[in-house]
Amino acid sequence: MVKKVLKGFLISILTLAIVAIGLYLFVAFKYDGDFSYGTNINGVYCTDSSIAEINSQLLALTDKYRGITVYDKDGNDFFISADEVNLTYDYTKKLEEYSNSHSKFGWGMNFLGENPDHTILPDISYNTVLLQQKVGELPVWMDEIPDDQRELCIKKGEEGYYLVNERDNILRKDKATELILAGFENKVPTINLKDEGCYEDLPRTPEMLEAIKLSDKLDEFQTTYISYKIGDEIIPISPKIACEFAKTDEHGNIVFDESGNIVTDEEKVYAFVDSLAEKYDTVGKNRVFRTTAGRVVNVSGGNYGNIIDAEYEKEHLLEAFNSKKSEVHIPHFKQFCGVYGTDDIGSTYVEIDMSNQHLYYYEDGVLKVDSDIVTGNLRLGHGTPTGLYYVNNKARNTVLTGADYVSHVKYWIAFIGHSIGIHDASWRYGKFGGDIYKTNGSHGCVNTRTEEVGKLYELIQIGTPVLVFY
């Protein structure tokens, strides 16, 4: 009986073993692809998938290297993209190695939970020739001067004296190139050439050390905080201007005093003030004027406008510069018409059109006086001088005298010294205008009808501009 029971038990065990082996073999042959049942690689379930399919899935999950950013000593960054050098990722070879090294009959280990997820790394490749080319094209190599030709000296440029230093922070190309190539190979995202010690300084000669000392003195000399304010314009005494104030000898070398300070050349300071006066003095300069008759004329000469007090300004600037003052300075004027620049006539003025022998007086743009006139006698060479003048004097009931005349006038408005002006002329008996001035004109004054010059006298102010033209 016992033998019978034992026999039945053994048969049952054998039957179950045969069934289990059959099932195991069934699963092994059912998933007879590249990967056995239950295979996980890098978090991707691989069973029933081909190597190409798994490669595609793994690539989609891979955090790819974008390239390397190179920083120079000044913080400028230059990027070499992985795409530029054809960098690629591929798991195919590693997947094939895994598949070949793992039997399809080993799925049971996966099923039981041993080594549930396998990790493999991709093969990475790129074009090394392209990478070397890209590294060679980086702008960091622009300054490739041979060491023995590198200068450290003082030069003078558009913005004054400056120190040329080509001997500090020299980039060593071989070392930097090697580091960049290694960084790319190791998938380093950034590399700082300064931090990596790719820059070095060259030795300095005694002459170079002297140049550095001189540069400090020149910086102090040509740095000022003085500005001129002329109207709305600010003219700073910039290093470009101030550097010219340094005294030099016949060889162009800078002159120092006994204390080792740079000597200021007074004549150069004065020359700058003269240049200001030449630019901003407006007396005698041309004005473009549209006449009442509609013509556009050029009026130059005369005494109206601005004159900078150059002598005062020369001494002021010299003292301010040498004492390192900080100021915004409005220059002194010997003569100031109230407006800066040559667009200074304004809307109140006298217009003497000698071609038409007519006088107009405008006040705030409104025509107030309009009269025929007689100007200087052209035949006798007494023509009234052209130019832009200003009223300098007014008088009532005065006597005008000359070499061959004595004339009493009721109204006298002088605009050229005390000899030429606008006045009434009773001796003309009301005859004004036309061509009288050519043969029977005045000695140079502007003869005007008594009634009209009387109006003008009451209205006009000292300093009013007077335009005289043909």
pLDDT value at residue 39? 83
How far apart are alpha carbons 420 and 393 in whole angstroms? 11
Whether 8 is in a domain gets the answer no
Banded model confidence at residue 407, pLDDT cuts 50, 70, 90: very high
Distances (CA, A) of 302 to 15, 34, 204, 286, 340: 134, 105, 62, 10, 17
Same-domain check for residues 138 and 155 = no
Whether 319 is in a domain gets the answer yes
Task: Evaluate whether 453 touches 397 at the Cβ level (below 8 Å).
Answer: no
The stretch 323-349 carries a mean pLDDT of 94
The stretch 397-410 carries a mean pLDDT of 92
Same-domain check for residues 26 and 130 = yes
Phi and psi of 307, rounded to 5°? -135, 115
How far apart are alpha carbons 372 and 356 in whole angstroms? 8
Whether 156 is in a domain gets the answer yes
Query: Is the per-residue pLDDT at 434 higher than 60?
Result: yes
Banded model confidence at residue 27, pLDDT cuts 50, 70, 90: very low
State if pTM tops 0.85: no
Q: Each residue of 175-203: pLDDT tens digit?
A: 999 999 999 999 999 999 999 999 999 99
3-state secondary structure of 445: coil
Number of domains in the chain: 4
Whether 393 is in a domain gets the answer yes
Query: Is the per-residue pLDDT at 106 higher than 70?
Result: no
Same-domain check for residues 265 and 177 = no
Query: Is the per-residue pLDDT at 8 higher than 80?
Result: no
Same-domain check for residues 97 and 65 = yes
Q: Residue 238: which CATH number?
A: 3.10.20.800
The stretch 403-427 carries a mean pLDDT of 95
How far apart are alpha carbons 156 and 243 in whole angstroms? 9
Same-domain check for residues 185 and 77 = yes
Same-domain check for residues 68 and 119 = yes
Same-domain check for residues 319 and 387 = no
The stretch 392-416 carries a mean pLDDT of 94
Whether 290 is in a domain gets the answer no
Same-domain check for residues 34 and 96 = yes
Same-domain check for residues 32 and 96 = yes
What is the CB-side half-sphere exposure of residue 92 using CA atoms within 13 A? 5
Whether 256 is in a domain gets the answer yes
**H or E stretch including 80?**
strand 77-81
Same-domain check for residues 406 and 330 = no
Q: Each residue of 38-80: pLDDT tens digit?
A: 788 999 988 888 899 999 999 999 999 999 999 999 999 999 9
Whether 13 is in a domain gets the answer no
Range(s) of the domain holding residue 109: 19-142+173-198
The overall average pLDDT reported for the chain is 91
Same-domain check for residues 337 and 362 = no
Banded model confidence at residue 7, pLDDT cuts 50, 70, 90: low
Same-domain check for residues 445 and 391 = yes
pLDDT value at residue 107? 46
Whether 70 is in a domain gets the answer yes
